[in-house]
Amino acid sequence: MKNGVVVINTGSSSLKFAVFATGDAAPEPTLLFKGRIEGIGSDPAFEVKGADGATIAERTEWPRGSTLTHVCAIRHVLEYLDKNAERIRIMAAGHRVVHGGLVYSGPVRVSEEVLAALETFVPLAPLHQPHNLAAIKAIHDLYPALPQVACFDTAFHSGQARVAKLFALPRDLTEQAAIRRYGFHGLSYEYIAMRLPDFAPGARRAVVAHLGSGASMCAIRDGKSLDSTMGFTAVDGLPMGTRTGALDPGVILHLMQEYRYDAEAIETLLYKESGLLGVSGISNDMRDLAGSDDPNAAEAIDLFIYHITKNLGALVAASGGIDALVFTAGIGENDRGLRARVCEDASWLGIRLDTAANATNGPRISTLDSPVSAWVIPTDEERMIALHTVRLMGDRPLTPFC
Ligand code: ADP
């Protein structure tokens, strides 16, 4: 019987989970399997893959008209673990929680007080935080003795200089209403910061481009976040699959005053109808756009690359130069054409692309004589959460749930 931790990552319409073995036999958490439920609230689909990526369980058939809620999804995952992880003793659950507010600058064991504090951050991340907390509550209801750990997307950025966090707003909005730049994708950046020395020893200053369906960039110095493109919410910065990225706030005023947009219509526009999907009119998936000969698809890709290049310049300036540029997440890890264009546009910075290495996804995609190196490093937010969970629980005696 092995000890293990389960990692839960709830999104607005999906739930990802992973089980890692921990303990003496595995000083570092070892992935056993991972899975996801897609289509929460619409047509659900469940899939589990082993550590080698092979599918080990699938379910696409659900009773007619099923709409899975987040709580049902978490129950489904726990039932699966109960039946299928009989040789694993689950000792703790680690959760991705989007917002730690001004209070949490690192992972925390969840208690009633912590949960109450996390509830107060719901208005700061209304699209994500309620789902994250629903998963914690669902597990608590079923297994009250199981320790749970919350790991925050904002925490990695909490040490940024105050000037990087401030908006030029009146002071009471900054202090009382906590309206400031928080930054997101922190678990991904923390994982990359941890791994970077293995790839690029001596690279003290880096810009990491996390390019997935959500996309952001972060300047990292000596393993710490200096600045990032996401701010108060995860809609700031780069254009994304369906999100606008940075938008002149005057546009929102104009839409409200001249086109009668209300808060709900603006939210839908900013989060769901814009970005690659809005500009192309075709898809939010980079693969569809790259395979299309529609000029609007090409323009959406151009716009995405232009903003990566422009934000790279800003982050390089914020960190006073860089030693390494890192690409990660779905697009960053797989789209060699996009990486080549970003690196070519960044030749002013001293990046010389190694075309052959880029074609095979690196990991080093710059030539050996490139003054600034460029890398592809796959991110692993689930592993980061597992590590935090194990570290935080330490050797304390735990009550396993199965
Ligand atoms: P998330 O975890 O935020 O859902 P991912 O990091 O998994 O996002 O990235 C998903 C995106 O990655 C997809 O929407 C797609 O655009 C992109 N992607 C995945 N594979 C490729 C590929 N081979 N080439 C280009 N883009 C890809």
192-251 confidence digits (pLDDT tens): 999 999 999 999 999 999 999 999 999 999 999 999 999 999 999 999 999 999 999 999
* pLDDT class of 394 with cuts at 50, 70, 90: confident
Consecutive H or E run containing 45: strand 45-50
Say whether 163 sits in a helix, a strand or coil.
helix
The atom number, within ligand 1, closest to the CA of 329 reads: 6
* Predicted confidence (pLDDT) at residue 39 exceeds the cutoff of 90: no
Residues above pLDDT 90, as percent of the chain = 81
pLDDT digit string, tens, across residues 115-155: 999 999 998 888 889 999 999 999 999 889 999 999 999 99
Q: What is the mean pLDDT of residues 162-180?
A: 96
The atom number, within ligand 1, closest to the CA of 288 reads: 16
Residue 363: what pLDDT? 98
Catalytic residue among 52, 153, 294, 354: 153
The reply to whether omega before 363 is within 30° of 0 (cis) is yes
The answer to whether 31 and 387 are in contact (CB under 8 A) is no
Architecture of domain 2-152: 2-Layer Sandwich (3.30)
pTM for the full model?
Answer: 0.94
Q: What is the mean pLDDT of residues 297-321?
A: 98
Q: Where are the domains of the chain?
A: 2-152, 202-381
Nearest CA-CA partner of 249 in 365, 61, 257, 297? 257
Same fold across 2-152 and 202-381: yes
Q: Whose CA is nearest to atom 7 of ligand 1?
A: 330
The atom number, within ligand 1, closest to the CA of 14 reads: 4
Core vs surface per residue 235-249: b (16+ CB within 10 A) or e: bbbbbbbbbbbeeee
| Distances from the Cα of 88 to the Cα of 22, 24, 25, 55, 393, angstroms | 10, 14, 13, 19, 17
**For 202-381, CATH number?**
3.30.420.40
Q: Whose CA is nearest to atom 24 of ligand 1?
A: 335
Ligand 1 centroid distance, CA of 330 (Å): 3
Q: Judge if the beta carbon of residue 331 lies within 6 A of ligand 1.
A: yes
Ligand 1 centroid distance, CA of 20 (Å): 24
Better pLDDT: 89 or 1? 89
Q: Is 222 a catalytic residue?
A: no
* Predicted confidence (pLDDT) at residue 402 exceeds the cutoff of 50: no
Ligand 1 centroid distance, CA of 239 (Å): 14
The atom number, within ligand 1, closest to the CA of 285 reads: 16
Q: Judge if the beta carbon of residue 213 lies within 6 A of ligand 1.
A: yes
Better pLDDT: 347 or 11? 347
Q: Judge if the beta carbon of residue 241 lies within 6 A of ligand 1.
A: yes
Residue 330's CB is within 10 A of a number of other CB atoms, namely 18
Q: Judge if the beta carbon of residue 212 lies within 6 A of ligand 1.
A: yes
Q: What is the mean pLDDT of residues 31-46?
A: 86
Q: Could you tell me the two tokens for 36? A: 């996801």
Residue 397: what pLDDT? 45
